[in-house]
Amino acid sequence: YCVEFKTESLSPHCALENRPHARWMQYLRVGHTVCVACQPPAMTTPTRRCSGDGHNAEGGKILHWEAVGNSQCQGTWTKIRQLKQCSCPPVHSFIFT
């Protein structure tokens, strides 16, 4: 499944990232919608959910995220909705780990 989030805040370290495998961090912007896919490697066995997907988050609750590979690139977002498949462009699509 996929979860759409609205980016509420992000650290300035995201824009400074220039390593080839991590340049995607430069495209993060406050106010943008991002999609995060929950796939089997990240799912917990009993619930078949990904940790941090905001499943129990009520509307408007601020949730925290951190980029893999650069712990200084972090921020907050609010959950918009859960979908069967992601609908964001590739540059705004991510995977739970």
Q: Binning pLDDT at 50, 70 and 90, where does residue 93 land?
A: confident
Q: Across residues 24-48, what is the average pLDDT?
A: 89
Output the pLDDT for position 90. 80
Give the C-alpha distances (Å, rounded to integers) separating 41 from 9, 18, 50, 66, 77: 27, 27, 9, 18, 23
Alpha-helical segments (H) within the chain: 13-16
pLDDT digits (tens, 9 = 90+) for 45-80: 888 999 889 888 776 789 999 988 888 999 999 999
pLDDT digits (tens, 9 = 90+) for 4-16: 999 999 999 988 8
C-alpha–C-alpha distance, residues 26 and 15, integer Å: 4
Q: Across residues 39-44, what is the average pLDDT?
A: 89
Q: Binning pLDDT at 50, 70 and 90, where does residue 97 land?
A: confident
Q: What are phi and psi of 10, to 5 degrees?
A: -155, 150
**Predicted structure pTM score:** 0.86
DSSP three-state, residue 97: coil
Token couple for 53:
């997907």
Q: Where are the domains of the chain?
A: 2-95
Residue type, position 6, single letter: K
Whether the Cβ atoms of residue 35 and residue 87 lie closer than 8 Å to each other: yes
